[in-house]
Amino acid sequence: MPRQPRILITVHGPAQEAVELPTWKTFSRYADAIKRAGAEPVLIDPQATAADRAKAFAEMDALLLPGGADLDPALYGQAAYPGTQVEPGRDELEQDAWAAARARGLPVLGVCRGMQAINAFSGGSLLQHVDGHDTPTWPSPDARPHPVRLVQDSRLAGILGLDGEGLIEVNSYHHQALRPDQLGSGLRVSGTTEDGELVEAFEASDPDTWIFGVQNHPERPEFTPPAFGRLWRAFVDAAATSGR
């Protein structure tokens, strides 16, 4: 029986974990989503040695960049907005993981911070703060929803099975974002806020490259349309055939 594809998931280190609210202390939801889709999650944090990183990068079949602390604005040439919380060690780890995945042509999925990281690593930039776009975390039991307008000919719309529909409602757990004019090289918009002002999803402009980013949190099934289960499966399917 062929082995399950290995999905490398970058996670925060102990210092960041110590200051996270309970909602974000673990990455179990991401690992669970990967398992449900039929792959093996492999977690790596900034404390990994150079040897550990090299081994993980060589053995991964795909890369998942999940949510977390703000990216260091220096990555896209800006001074920090007041209150910005960064994790430089994770920024460095994810830059290395991204470079390794791109060198091997592996699938990459970015979620929230991960989407923003892909954009920054591709030469794009961010809006460092958007009022009213975040959901209160602990102990709030609910997510703040808002509609996303999918680009009808995008691969994401096709994966979600919604290419005939304009809007899908998603959760909103972010205070940073990007405008269409801040998009990095090699990316195309696949979803925006209803007014078109902010990018809510993107994908590689090359149809043969499996890179997707979503600003919402599809690993939280209690607040996510079931259609996003198809995105996890498409990611794992792409990983199953990469680098083999």
Catalytic residues, which ones? 112, 217, 219
Greatest Cα pair distance in the chain: 53
Q: Are strands 187-193 and 199-204 parallel, antiparallel or unpaired?
A: antiparallel
The DSSP result for 155-199, as a single string, is HHHHHHT-TT-SEEEEE---S-B--GGGPPTTEEEEEEETTSSSE
The region, left, alpha or beta by phi > 0 then psi within -120 to 50, assigned to residue 77 is left
Q: Do residues 169 and 159 lie in contact, with contact meaning Cβ atoms separated by under 8 Å?
A: no
* Type of residue found at 34: I
Burial profile 181-209: b = 16 or more Cβ within 10 angstroms, e = fewer: ebbbebbbbbbbbeeeebbbbbbbeeeee
